[in-house]
């Protein structure tokens, strides 16, 4: 009998991680776009994008070093709150956030940079506050690109494997996500069970791609008319 808990663990992990990643990506992207120091912008952009180009296991190693029981943050939470971060469901969320953040950040930044600066200046001449300019002008015009980035980030968090394996492990019913379940079933020789999980991942991925394409086509029509 197939254990479907990896589906619920993956969906729960991806849902919480995209909530965190979405707003964090917007804030960081906006801060980088507003930054005037080019050298600092290059350095920070490299740091924020690094998880996108590093092997996931390397990212997982750094996360384990930080959040493990001997790491600075992991030890702090264990000593003061008796909370163990590594090899828990929280660890799957942390891994998903770190690995999906670059996609959200770069998509949001690219969308912000494509908005005509004259629109922002027009808002200022009308007496709009920077807060209103951000939401009413910048965010509204960059929304298609932001949504596409959010969808990609969600899919990345849902399919995260390497960093999750390093930081959260492969504990059945707790940290075993869909990718981990596929790996476990194949390793155990249960190809039928692995196929069931693969079908679920393929269906979810296809839905994600379809939604992203919908917003891309909608964006093209807006530019055309």
Encode pLDDT of 37-62 as tens digits. 989 999 999 999 999 999 999 999 99
> How many angstroms separate the CA atoms of 71 and 77, rounded?
10
What value does the mean pLDDT take over residues 10-16?
94
**pLDDT tens, position by position, 71-110:** 999 999 999 999 999 999 999 999 999 999 999 999 999 9
Question: 50: closest CA among 110, 109, 98, 112?
Answer: 98
Angle between helices 140-158 and 89-114 (to 10 degrees): 150
pLDDT of residue 183: 93
> How many angstroms separate the CA atoms of 68 and 91, rounded?
10
Question: 95: closest CA among 150, 51, 148, 45?
Answer: 51
* Ranges assigned E (strand) in the chain: none
Q: How many CB atoms lie within 10 A of CB 121?
A: 12
Q: Which residues of 66-102 are buried (b: 16+ CB within 10 A; e: fewer)?
A: ebbeebeebeebbeeeeeebbbbbbbbbbbbbbbbbb
Whether 156 contacts 110, CB under 8 Å:
no
Question: 223: closest CA among 109, 117, 79, 115?
Answer: 115
> How many angstroms separate the CA atoms of 29 and 155, rounded?
20
Q: Which residues contact 2 (CB under 8 A, 6 or more apart)?
A: 193, 196
Instruction: Give the Å distances, CA to CA, from 32 to 26, 46, 74.
Output: 10, 11, 29
- At residue 217 the predicted structure's pLDDT band, cuts being 50, 70 and 90, is confident
Whether 101 contacts 20, CB under 8 Å:
no
> How many angstroms separate the CA atoms of 185 and 172, rounded?
12
Q: Which residues contact 129 (CB under 8 A, 6 or more apart)?
A: none
pLDDT of residue 213: 79
135 token code pair: 């939401």
Does residue 223 register a pLDDT over 60? no
């Amino acid at each position: 009998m197939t254990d479907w808990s990896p589906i619920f663990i993956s969906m729960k992990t991806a849902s919480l991680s995209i909530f965190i990643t979405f707003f964090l990506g917007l804030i960081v992207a906006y801060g980088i776009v507003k930054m005037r120091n080019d050298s600092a912008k290059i350095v920070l952009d490299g740091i924020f994008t690094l998880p996108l180009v590093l092997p996931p296991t390397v990212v997982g190693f750094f996360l384990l070093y930080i959040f493990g029981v001997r790491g600075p943050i992991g030890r702090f939470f264990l000593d003061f709150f008796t909370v163990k971060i590594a090899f828990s469901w929280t660890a799957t969320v942390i891994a998903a956030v770190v690995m999906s953040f670059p996609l959200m950040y770069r998509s949001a930044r690219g969308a912000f940079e494509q908005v005509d600066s004259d629109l922002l200046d027009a808002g200022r001449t009308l007496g709009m506050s920077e807060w209103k300019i951000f939401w009413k002008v910048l965010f509204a015009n960059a929304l298609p690109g932001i949504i596409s980035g959010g969808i990609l980030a969600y899919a990345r968090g849902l399919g995260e494997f390497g960093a999750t394996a390093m930081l959260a492990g492969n504990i059945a019913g707790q940290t075993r996500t869909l990718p981990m379940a596929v790996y476990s079933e194949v390793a155990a020789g249960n190809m039928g069970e692995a196929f069931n999980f693969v079908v679920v991942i393929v269906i979810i991925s296809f839905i994600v791609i379809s939604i992203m394409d919908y917003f891309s086509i909608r964006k093209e029509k807006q530019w055309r008319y």
